[in-house]
A and B are shown apart, each in its own frame.
Chain A
Amino acid sequence: MQSKKEWVKIGREKLQRIIEMCKSVEERSLDPFLINVEEIIGIVKEYFPEWENPEDLCLDAETIQHLASVIKLQSEWVKYRSTSLYTDPFLLEEKLTRIEKEEIVDAFLKAWHPIVEMEQISLHSLAEATRYWESLLPLKERWKGFPPAEVETSLATREELIRQRILREKAFSEELENFWQELKVKVGEKGKIHYWNFVGAETYEETVHRAFLTSFLVTYGYATLEIHPLEEEIFIKPNEKPITKIGKKQLVSIPITVSLEDWTKWKRGELK
C-alpha cells in the first residue's frame, strides 16, 4: 500500500510528464492526436483531490492549460483536413522524391506569379539628388565642430550604446547627417513638420528608430522642437546649421512617448 506522500509524488511526476508531452506537440508540430485527452483528464481528475499546497494546484492548472492548447490544435487539425488544401504529407513527400526536378519546376511555374517591381532613376530624382549634392558641405567642414555631447542622464546614451557595440560612431554620424537632410527636405518651405509625420514609419520598430534619431537631432542642435501644449501638438524645425547652445536658456529634457498604441493610431490617421 502506497503512503499518501508517495502517491502525491507519483501524481506530480505524472502531471509533469503530461506537460512535457503537450509542449513537444505544441513546439514540434507533432500530430496532436498522439495525445489521448480522455486518459489525461482521467489522471488529472484522479490526483486533483490530493493537491493541497499552491505549487501542486499551479501544476494542475498548468496541465489543464497545456491540454487546452492541444485540444485547440486537434480542432485546427480537423478543420484543416476538411479544407481543399489538405494533402496527406506522406503522399506528397513520396511524390516529391519520385518526380524529376524539371517536373517540379514546371508545376511551380504554373502556380507562381512573381511580383513585378521596378528600380529606375527618373529625371526628377536626379535633379533632386543634384540639388542635395550641391547643398552638401564637404565632410571636413561638417564634422570639424562636432559639439561635445550634452546629454541628460537617461537609461541609454549614445556613448553607452557605442561602448556596448550596439552602434558604431561613424555610421551613427552619417546616419544623423542623412536624417537631418531628410528632415530639411520633408519640411520644405513650411519650416516645420508635425512630430509624428516625421518619425512615423511603415513598421513600429522603424518608428522607434526614427524617434531615437530625432532625439539626437534635437540634442545636438540640428533641430528644435516646437511644442503647443494646449493643442497637444509637437513640431520639429530643422536648423540651417547645428546650434550648440541656444542662448542662455537652460537645456531641458522633453519626454515624448512613442507607444505601439500611438503608432497604430497614427497609421490609421487618428493621431493629431
Chain B
Amino acid sequence: MSKRKGYYASKIKRAVHMLFYRRHKKTGVKGWELRKVLGSDYPKVLKILDDYLKALDLQVKTIFEEEKAFEKPSLENFDSARFYITLRGDLAPKEAKMIGWRIDDLAGLAITIAYIISKKGKVPRKEVEELLRDKLPGWKVGLNIDRYIRYGYLTQDENEQLYLDWRTRAEVDQKALIELLLSK
C-alpha cells in the first residue's frame, strides 16, 4: 500500500467510527468535530468514504446549516454542517417493519411531514391531529405526534405549532415525497 493510500485508509477508519457510533444525544457529527480528528482535508476523506459506501447502499449525508444548498461549499460551511450515514436507496415495506415501524405510524409520519411541507413548514398541531384522526384512532394520534417529536422528525413551539426537525432534514427527500404523493 502506498503511503498516500495508507494515510487515507486510516482517516477513513476514524471517520467510520465517528459517523456510525453515536457520540452525543443527537445523532450525527458536526464538521468541526471531524476537522479536529481528521484534519482540514476531512471533506475529501468523507468523499472517499461516500464512494466506498455506494456498494453497501449507504451514503454520507451532509446537512448544511439552515438547510442552505451550496454549489461549492467552503470549509466554513462544512465546519458548521452536520454529517450522517444514511441509506442511499430505499426500503421495501417489509424492511420498514423490521426496523421497528408499524405501517400506521409510518403513514402518519408521512402525512404529517407532507402536510407541514405544503403549509410552508409550520402548522398548528390541532390541524395535524384532525388530519390524522381521519384514519387513525383518536387515542393514538397525540401519542404518535409526540413520538415523531421525540425521534427528531418534528418540533413544536410554545404556541403548539409544528415544524420539521433535524431528522426529517437528514432522512427525507422532501421534494420527492411531495411529487410521489401527488402522482398517486
Contacts from A to B (Cβ < 8 Å): 27-29, 76-77, 80, 84-85, 87-89, 91-93, 95-97, 99, 101-120, 202, 267-269
**Contact between B20 and A118, CB atoms less than 8 A apart:** yes
**Contact between B87 and A87, CB atoms less than 8 A apart:** no
Contacts from B to A (Cβ < 8 Å): 20-22, 24-28, 30, 32, 36, 58-59, 61, 79, 84-93, 96, 99, 103-104, 106-107, 109-111, 113-115, 117-120, 122-124, 131, 134-135, 159, 161, 167, 170-178, 180-182, 184
> Given the complex, which residues of B lie within 8 Å of A111, measured CB to CB?
90, 172-174, 176-177, 180
Contact A267:B131 (CB < 8 A) given known A85-B174, A87-B178, A92-B118 = no
**Contact between A85 and B175, CB atoms less than 8 A apart:** yes
> Given the complex, which residues of B lie within 8 Å of A92, measured CB to CB?
114-115, 118, 178, 181-182
5 new A-B pairs (CB below 8 Å) besides A87-B117, A112-B90?
A: A101-B107, A102-B93, A104-B107, A105-B96, A117-B27
**Contact between B85 and A115, CB atoms less than 8 A apart:** yes
**Contact between A117 and B120, CB atoms less than 8 A apart:** no
A-B contact pairs, 26 of them (CB 8 A): A92-B114, A92-B182, A93-B118, A93-B131, A96-B115, A97-B135, A99-B181, A105-B93, A107-B110, A107-B180, A108-B180, A109-B93, A110-B90, A110-B176, A110-B180, A111-B173, A112-B171, A112-B173, A113-B61, A113-B172, A114-B86, A114-B99, A116-B20, A116-B58, A116-B85, A269-B36
**Contact between B115 and A115, CB atoms less than 8 A apart:** no
**Contact between A113 and B103, CB atoms less than 8 A apart:** no
Q: Quick one: which of B79, B106, B134, B167 contacts A108, CB cutoff 8 A?
A: B106
**Contact between B181 and A104, CB atoms less than 8 A apart:** yes
Contact A87:B91 (CB < 8 A) given known A105-B96, A113-B173, A116-B86 = no
Task: Report the Cα distance A27→B123, complex, angstroms.
Answer: 10
A22 to chain B, nearest CB (A): 15
